[in-house]
Amino acid sequence: MIYLIIGLSSAIIIAIVYRSVPYIRYAYPTAKAESIGNPFLTSRSLDQLLEVRSLNSFKSMINAHKDFEVEGEDAEEIQRSLDQHMLGVIQTLKKECPKDDREFFDGFLEYLDGYGFKTFLISKLENKEAEIRLLSDNFRRMAGLIRGSDPDKIPGILKRFGIDVSGDLNPVEIDVGISKYVLKRLKEARVSRVSRSAKDEFVDRLVDIENVRNILKAKIYGFGNCEGLFLGEGKEIAEWRFRDICRSRDLEGLISGLEGTSYHEIIKKGYDDSKRHGNIQLLEKSLDEILLKEAKDLSIKNFPFLGTLIKFLVSRYFELRNLKIIAKGIEEGLSKDRIKPLLLVGG
C-alpha cells in the first residue's frame, strides 16, 4: 500500500511538472514583453511627440522609454535605426523563446521584408536604383544574387528560394508571388504545441488582410485582373467571397461584400474617414487596425504563450512605423494635424 501511494504521488507530481513546463519556458520572454509594453501606440505618448519640433528632441523623448536607443541625424538615419531595433527585438525573442518557435520568428521577419523586396525587385527590372533595407537572411541573399544578374536569370533565382513566378515577371505577378511565399513560410513554421492554434489563426488572419489589401489595390490603382490576386483562403474570407468582391464595381462594393465578417465595421469606418479627409491611406490603415485588434485578441486567447508575443511584435512594428512617420513629418515641417491621421493608436 505504501509503495502504491508513493507511486501515485510520483505520477501526480510528474504530471504537474509536465503541464507546467510550457509556462516555465515562456515565462521570461512573456514577462519581459509585458513589462516593456508598447508606449508609442497610446494617444498620450504620440500627442507628446507631435508637439516636438526638432529631431534631437524627438530622439530624446523616445530614448527615455525602456528598451529604446534610437540614433541618427536625419529622418532617414532615424528610420534605419528603428529598422535595426525591430530586427533586434525579433532576434532577442527568437533566442529567449523555446527552440520549437524559432522558425516562426524567421518567417515573421520575412513577412515584414516582403514589401521592401517587392520594391527592390521591380526597381531592378526597371533599371532603377532603390535604397531598400532588408533584414531577413533569405531576402538579403536573394537580393545579393539578383543585384548583379541579368533579368532572364531572376525567375530561376526566385524559384531556388521557393518563389513561384513565370518568366514574364510583371509587377502584379511579383507582388502575388512574394506574398504567397512569405505567408507560406509563416504557415509552415513549426511552433510549440501550446502555440500552434495561435500561430495558425494569426496566419489565417494575415491571409484575409492581404487578400483585402490586394482587392483595394486593384480598385484604387487599376491592377487589372483582381481575381488573379487571390492568396488562398484565410479565417473568414473564402474564395467565393473574394471573387464576388472582385467583381464589384467600386470600393462601396468591397465594403458591402465584407458584410457578415468581423472586418466590415473597421473597414467601413476607414472608408468613411478616407472620404472625409480626402486621403485613401486611411482606408488602407483600417487593415492595420484589424491586424492590431486580432493580435490583441490572440494575446488573450493564448496567454502566456506565443499569442502574447505575437501581439507584442505586431504592436512594436506599428509603433516603429508611427515613429518613422513622425520623424519624417518633423523633418519636412508638417503640422501635427497633417501627421496625426496617419498614426495607428491602440494595442
For the stretch 17-68, pLDDT in tens is 334 447 789 999 999 999 999 999 999 999 999 999 999 999 999 999 989 9
* Contact between 67 and 297 (Cβ < 8 Å): no
Does the pLDDT of residue 300 top 60, yes or no?
yes
Q: Pick the closest to residue 171 from 235, 241, 122 (CA basis).
A: 122
| Residue-level pLDDT at 225 | 76
pLDDT at 130: 78
Is 263 part of a structural domain of the chain? Answer: no
Query: Which set of grid coordinates corresponds to residue 346?
Result: 491602440
Mean local confidence (pLDDT), 143-150: 92
Q: Which residue has 534610437 as its cell numbers?
A: 70
pLDDT at res. 1: 55
Q: Does residue 74 fall inside a structural domain?
A: no
Average pLDDT over residues 142-152: 92
Which triple of cell numbers denotes residue 198?
495561435
**Rounded mean pLDDT, 183-194:** 97
Check: CB of residue 96 under 8 Å from CB of residue 312.
no
pLDDT confidence of residue 131: 81
Query: What count of other Cβ atoms lies within 10 Å of the Cβ of residue 130?
Result: 12
Greater confidence (257 vs 132) lies with 257
Instruction: Please give the average per-residue pLDDT across 107-132, as a whole number.
Output: 92
Tens digit of each residue's pLDDT (9 = 90 or more) over 244-258: 999 998 899 999 999
110 within a domain of the structure (yes/no): yes
Q: Is residue 239 part of a domain?
A: no
Lowest mean per-residue pLDDT among 171-175, 180-184, 232-236: 171-175
For residue 141, tell me if it sits in a domain.
yes
Number of compact structural domains in the chain = 1
Percent of all residues in the chain with a pLDDT value above 90, rounded to a whole number = 80
Taking the C-alpha atoms of 192, 195, 199 and 200 in order, what is their torsion angle to the nearest 10 degrees?
A: 90
pLDDT of residue 2: 56
pLDDT band with cut points at 50, 70 and 90 for residue 16? very low
Span 150-162, average pLDDT: 93
Helix pair 55-63, 306-331: axis angle to 10 deg: 160
Q: Say yes or no to pLDDT of 321 above 90.
A: yes
Q: Which domain holds residue 131?
A: 99-191
**Measured between alpha carbons, how far is residue 93 from residues 36, 69, 106, 329 in Å?**
13, 18, 11, 31
**The predicted structure's pLDDT at residue 261:** 97
Contacts from 151-159 at CB under 8 Å and sequence distance 24+? 151/124, 151/125, 154/121, 154/124, 154/125
343 is a domain residue: no
Q: What per-residue confidence (pLDDT) applies to 19?
A: 46
pLDDT at residue 347, as a whole number: 58
Q: Give a yes or no: residue 50 inside a domain.
A: no
For residue 191, pLDDT beyond 50: yes
Is residue 286 assigned to a domain? no
Strand spans (E) along 164-295:
none
Distance of alpha carbon 155 from alpha carbon 93, whole angstroms = 34
DSSP letter (8 states) at residue 236: S
pLDDT exceeds cutoff 70 at 289: yes
The model's confidence at residue 169, banded by pLDDT at 50, 70 and 90, is confident
Over the chain, what is the mean pLDDT?
91
